[in-house]
Amino acid sequence: MFRRIGWSAVTDIGTSISSSFPEIAMEPSVTTARCEIVVAPRTVDEAAQVIRHATEHGFSILPIGSGSTMREPRSNIALSTSSMAGVIEYQPDDLTIVVGAGMSIGDLEDVLADRGHSAVLPESSPSRTVGGVVASGASGYARLRYGPTRDRVLEVTMATGYGDVVRAGGRLVKNVTGYDLSRLATGSFGSLGVIGSVCLKLWPMAPASRTVRVDNAGSALDRLYRPVAILETGEGVSAYVHGSVATVESDVALLGGTAVEGFDWPCHDQPPVYAEVRVPARMIDDALVRVREIDPLWFVGQHGVGIVEFGLSAHDDAVLESLRLWAQGLGGSVVVTAPGLSSRQRWGSPGNTIELQQRMKHLFDPEGILNRGVLPGGV
């Protein structure tokens, strides 16, 4: 029924799972998830079976994609989507594709490149899984031009916390039935259900693209019509443009900076502490000033979007809380990821949506077995 992926030990939980699902095998294994058992169902229906079993026995479950965003998570069972990968349905003429949640961004883009398409998911993380990106609500640097990832999620199939399989949305771009439910799953961090498959809206790849070093981000935004991105790092500001050859050449001439072929996206190591400042787009310059004052390992500011991501070598409550209070005063937020953080340290105050989040959690996961405490307010 399930493909063996590895087990940390033959525990009471392992005995319970193996007796209920005899075809599961166990063996010593090392996993960054720090869970007692790691299981990789091949279908969303099999994932639902594991969830029902966990609910009956009071086991907690941690959904895992590539594991790239996991920071010392602890649960009884780690449910990996690694066996739910691959293309399920590709409609090039409709610009849609349905893939298993465990498919990596790199593998997906390789498939799409043959037809000149792209899913426009985070560009610098090819090893991340599609399901993991959707579950975390992560968007790439091309957000300025193409919007956030949630705008391209047309349909999600997932096994909920009560062990049923639900499908939200529709595979046609014009079909909006259940569309809000798909958005609800996007950014839920696996707290509402384990995503088994995703239908994404695609975009044609432009014939030409350039990365242009510029002196001023504001000037580049004013001059360009719908640039792909305007990013600022410690090395300077770059404008990313694409389109027809003539359009790109015109944009490069308009900007007057040094241009290189293709998109030269920022590249950085995973830091001990990762954070994002999210403020209204007009406040991005102020946010960049405040982030520079922290002396981060690296930073990337997204002009026109209002997001500054940065890495730190260590967590500092006082510094990050000061930055958070400033951002919240503008209607923004600061999200921090590091080992051992409390919900308050990660998200800040839950705000006035906490009751709605609690209701949604109870609706989809009434026993609270899925990724406990991952949402703001410890939901």
> How many CB atoms within 10 Å of residue 69?
19
Position 25 scores a pLDDT of 36
Which element (helix H / strand E) includes 31? none
What was the pLDDT predicted at 17?
57
- Residue found by looking up tokens 């360009």 in the block: 224
Decide: 122 and 105 in contact? Cβ < 8 Å.
yes
To which H or E segment does residue 160 belong? strand 153-160
Topology agreement, domain 208-261 and domain 273-348: yes
| pLDDT for res 10 | 33
The domain locations on the chain are: 87-204, 208-261, 273-348
Looking at residue 219, the DSSP 8-state letter turns out to be H
Quick one: pLDDT at residue 177?
46
Q: What is the pLDDT of residue 119?
A: 96
**Direct distance between the N- and C-terminal alpha carbons of the chain, in angstroms, rounded to an integer:** 32
* Domain 87-204, classified CATH 3.40.50.2000, yes or no: no
- At residue 32, the pLDDT reads 44
Q: What is the pLDDT of residue 99?
A: 97
Strand bridging mode 77-80 / 61-64: parallel
Q: Check if the beta carbon of residue 106 is closer than 8 Å to that of residue 127.
A: yes
- What integer pLDDT is reported at residue 5 of this predicted model? 35
Q: Considering the domain 208-261, what is its CATH architecture?
A: 2-Layer Sandwich (3.30)
Looking at residue 277, its pLDDT comes to 98
Q: What is the pLDDT of residue 15?
A: 57
Q: What is the DSSP letter of 120?
A: -
The number of residues making up the chain comes to: 379
Specify the pLDDT at position 139.
Answer: 94
Question: What pLDDT is attached to residue 295?
Answer: 95
Distance CA(184)–CA(198), nearest Å, equals 13
Portion of the chain with pLDDT greater than 90, in percent: 61
pLDDT digit string, tens, across residues 348-362: 888 777 888 888 888
Please give the chain's pLDDT, 379 residues, in tens.
Answer: 333 333 333 345 555 655 565 544 333 343 444 667 888 899 999 999 999 999 988 888 989 886 655 555 567 888 989 899 999 999 999 999 999 999 999 999 999 999 999 999 998 888 999 999 999 999 999 999 999 999 999 999 999 998 999 987 766 655 444 446 788 889 889 999 999 999 999 999 999 999 999 999 999 999 999 999 999 999 999 999 999 999 999 999 999 989 999 999 999 888 999 999 999 999 999 999 999 999 999 999 999 999 999 999 999 999 999 999 999 999 999 999 887 788 888 998 887 778 888 888 888 999 989 988 888 887 7
CA distances from 3 to 7, 22, 34, 107, 184 (A): 12, 12, 20, 21, 30
CATH number belonging to domain 273-348? 3.30.70
Structure tokens at 14: 């392992």
Beta bridge partners of 299: 310
pLDDT at residue number 374: 84
- Cα-to-chain-centroid distance, residue 359: 23
Q: Please give the backbone phi and psi of residue 173, each rounded to the nearest 5 degrees, phi first.
A: -60, -35
